A and B are shown apart, each in its own frame.
Chain A
Amino acid sequence: MSEPVLKVDNLTIDIPMAQGTLHAVRGIDFELKRGETLCIVGESGSGKSLTSLAIMGLLSKKMRCNAARLDFSGIDLRKQSPRAMRALRGDRMAMIFQEPMTSLNPAYTIGDQLMEALQLHRPVGRAEARARAIELLGKVGITAAESRLSQYPHQLSGGLRQRVMIAMALMCEPELIIADEPTTALDVTIQAQILRLLADLQREMNMAMILVTHDLGVVARIADKVVVMYAGEVVEKGSAREIFENPRHPYTRGLLRCIPVPGKTKPGEHLGSIPGIVPSLIGKVEGCAFRSRCDVAEAACASDVPVRRTGEDHMYRCIHEVQAGAPS
């Protein structure tokens, strides 16, 4: 197999606050090859969005980001100047955000914004950029692409705007694309269309894709690899099949019990739940952060938690050696 396009090793993000340092991301690692889709799952505050922003070099200056390794196609992202990062972003790595209305500029036409995305990075003329814009709008399934170029973002529906965002991210054929909750603001029908489109384009262009989401249905359908984050830490990591069919960590198992599954959960029956709330990550965080909400927690969970591996790619962080099998 080919070399990984992205290698993240022991990434930490600290945010200084008045009350102390908030350890938002606490040592995560993963690798991603071209053509692979990695889903980062977690609830609000788990650090999943910060992780993707750190890779793109988009963290606020106040935040302190450290990593033993943060390599993108052989480039050490830790050592790049802001100017070098700007040159990479939009060219070799691109990002799609949740709310397309706030990430498109309302004062410029779709065409201007698409063409700028290419002309910033490539020495091409207007005519060539325009042709590429029309080609990509067609690729993301927008009809009458040529007439759309002169439209403004407010004239498009939410689904169309998200398609434009995807077209813009793909203008320079990036090697890595990061999508942060790309379909959360959309209707279910449009969500299915957009996800299908992303999966098709990713295969066609042989890109590496990171999809950040809290929707386990989306993860199951689109991911090759899954990273489950809780309180800034990777609690479980593995292939999508392993995570859904043999989840090991109590948090992953709990999450899977929380969602109603047509055909499996009996209508009206009580759904599983995870009582309690996410602990504060300000100050020193010791032991398993999930222990206050975990139904199999013991005193030993307050000290260091071992990383366990089952099979080659499946790891989880728990003092218990959890047996495989679907969550009951």
Chain B
Amino acid sequence: MSPTTTAEAVAPEAGTAPVLELAGVTKTYRVKQGMFSAAKPLNALGGVSLKIHRKDVLGLVGESGCGKSTLAKILLGLEAPTSGQVLIDGREVTARERTVLARRIQPIFQDPYSSLNPRKCIEDIIALPLVVHKIGDSASRAKSVARMLDLVGLPQRVLRGYPNQLSGGQRQRVAIARALVMNPEIVICDEPTSALDVSVQSQILNLLGDLREELGLTYLFISHNLAVVEHLATRVAVMYLGKIVEEAPASELFAGPRHPYTKALLESVLTPDPNLSVPDTHLGAAYPNPIDPPSGCHFHPRCAKVMDICKTTPPPHVAGPQGHVDCHLHAAPAR
């Protein structure tokens, strides 16, 4: 049961085998739209399969409502998938083993102003995961907390302080320290820098990069800032309406996006170049209602390259050597 024995059990194939795998994970919520109407199903995740390898940084991008956060919740064990499997080191994790997930996967959230308890001092905040999992005694916990502060670059004097005495960047460092105190292998970063000022954002990104090197961490990096994803990620998965429509190594995806949605996302990145104007992304229609998704390919009403087949038939899963794309454009030509 303990994380160490699980890791040892699969040690021979570590390095090649994914440390974390999602196999056909779906999540359906039931949503009531009116007081008397019957609940309708909302497919937040429609069959997501994803592999994250050790020391990879998987960037997960997509618009709000596409299911990024639902995916993060399932990985953290905060929600159970409706169907499909979550595997760690090739071993399925069932809903009852939530603590196993929690020991090995830790989160860093977007807003360091609301993710830290304002009534607890910094030492208690960082030590809380150890207390919850009953790890060590108070002396060893204090030692771990002090080590974490050094690791994330905070002075020891903040230990007795409270979150409101810290700046946004310092708070995010506390959130990182709290995530790392359990020695997790995987850290889920959900928009970790979007609430921060530009000059602080770069410090946190540098810190996350250093920690990955130092501790051999694996990240799932959820962000809508594609410049940041390009900077940090080794692989990128693009999500649209609960499905991963394209997945590839970061360098490949940014150099040659294949799915029209990925292209549109990349075009909408505003690089600081005063010689360019605001781009036209050609994404005419608004983001669809997930309760009533479009037929065929969910992206077809907004797609610049829409064909007749896209309106009726769901896109094929076209696997390449390094990733995949779900799009009729890339299907093998008909016989």
Closest to A240 in B: B274
Determine whether the beta carbon of A273 is less than 8 Å from that of B287. no
- B-contacting residues, A270-306, CB 8 Å: 270-275, 277
Determine whether the beta carbon of B231 is less than 8 Å from that of A187. no
Stretch in A74-82, A86-94, A258-266 touching the partner: A258-266
Given known contacts A260-B231, A268-B231, A273 and B206 CB-to-CB distance under 8 angstroms? yes
Determine whether the beta carbon of A273 is less than 8 Å from that of B199. yes
Determine whether the beta carbon of A192 is less than 8 Å from that of B281. yes
Determine whether the beta carbon of A273 is less than 8 Å from that of B278. no
Determine whether the beta carbon of B231 is less than 8 Å from that of A265. yes
Determine whether the beta carbon of A196 is less than 8 Å from that of B280. yes
- A-contacting residues, B47-61, CB 8 Å: none
Write the nearest CB–CB distance from B266 to chain A, whole angstroms.
Answer: 9
- A-contacting residues, B220-269, CB 8 Å: 224-228, 230-233, 250-251, 254, 264-265, 267-269
Stretch in A8-16, A164-172, A219-227 touching the partner: A219-227
Once bound together, how far apart are the Cα atoms of A188 and B267, in whole Å? 10
Whether, in the assembled complex, A193 has its beta carbon less than 8 Å from a beta carbon of chain B, the answer is yes
Write the nearest CB–CB distance from A301 to chain B, whole angstroms.
Answer: 18
Once bound together, how far apart are the Cα atoms of A261 and B272, in whole Å? 7
Determine whether the beta carbon of A258 is less than 8 Å from that of B198. yes
Inter-chain contacts of B225 with A (CB < 8 A): 188
Once bound together, how far apart are the Cα atoms of A249 and B205, in whole Å? 24
Stretch in A129-137, A174-182, A209-217 touching the partner: A209-217
Determine whether the beta carbon of A191 is less than 8 Å from that of B268. yes
Determine whether the beta carbon of A43 is less than 8 Å from that of B269. no
Write the nearest CB–CB distance from B211 to chain A, whole angstroms.
Answer: 13
Once bound together, how far apart are the Cα atoms of A131 and B106, in whole Å? 54
Once bound together, how far apart are the Cα atoms of A275 and B201, in whole Å? 11
Whether, in the assembled complex, B63 has its beta carbon less than 8 Å from a beta carbon of chain A, the answer is yes
Once bound together, how far apart are the Cα atoms of A310 and B254, in whole Å? 38
Closest to A142 in B: B286
Whether, in the assembled complex, B283 has its beta carbon less than 8 Å from a beta carbon of chain A, the answer is yes
Closest to A239 in B: B274
Whether, in the assembled complex, B270 has its beta carbon less than 8 Å from a beta carbon of chain A, the answer is yes
Q: Out of A192, A240, A262, A267, which one reaches B278, CB within 8 Å? A: A192
Interface size bracket, A side: 35 or more
Determine whether the beta carbon of B226 is less than 8 Å from that of A188. yes
Inter-chain contacts of B231 with A (CB < 8 A): 260, 265, 267-268, 271
Write the nearest CB–CB distance from A252 to chain B, whole angstroms.
Answer: 11
Whether, in the assembled complex, A128 has its beta carbon less than 8 Å from a beta carbon of chain B, the answer is no
Inter-chain contacts of A241 with B (CB < 8 A): 274-275
Closest to B63 in A: A187
Whether, in the assembled complex, B38 has its beta carbon less than 8 Å from a beta carbon of chain A, the answer is no
- A-contacting residues, B169-215, CB 8 Å: 197-199, 201-203, 205-206, 209
Inter-chain contacts of B168 with A (CB < 8 A): 44
Whether, in the assembled complex, A159 has its beta carbon less than 8 Å from a beta carbon of chain B, the answer is yes
Bits for B133-170, please: 1 = Cβ < 8 Å to A, else 0.
00000000000000000000000000000000001100
Once bound together, how far apart are the Cα atoms of A222 and B273, in whole Å? 10
Write the nearest CB–CB distance from B79 to chain A, whole angstroms.
Answer: 23
Once bound together, how far apart are the Cα atoms of A187 and B201, in whole Å? 18
Bits for A134-172, please: 1 = Cβ < 8 Å to B, else 0.
000000000000000000000001111000000000000
Point out which of A240, A271, A275 has the most chain B C-beta atoms below 10 A from its C-beta.
Answer: A271
Given known contacts A43-B197, A258-B202, A267-B231, A199 and B273 CB-to-CB distance under 8 angstroms? no
Once bound together, how far apart are the Cα atoms of A193 and B286, in whole Å? 11
25 A-B residue pairings within 8 Å (CB atoms): A43-B198, A44-B197, A158-B64, A159-B287, A187-B63, A188-B225, A188-B269, A193-B281, A195-B270, A199-B277, A218-B270, A221-B274, A221-B278, A222-B277, A241-B275, A243-B274, A255-B198, A257-B202, A259-B272, A260-B228, A265-B231, A267-B233, A271-B206, A273-B203, A275-B203
Known contacts A188-B269, A258-B198, A262-B271; 20 additional CB pairs below 8 A are A44-B197, A157-B286, A160-B286, A188-B268, A189-B264, A191-B268, A192-B278, A192-B279, A193-B283, A195-B270, A216-B198, A217-B227, A254-B199, A257-B202, A259-B272, A260-B230, A263-B271, A267-B233, A270-B206, A273-B202
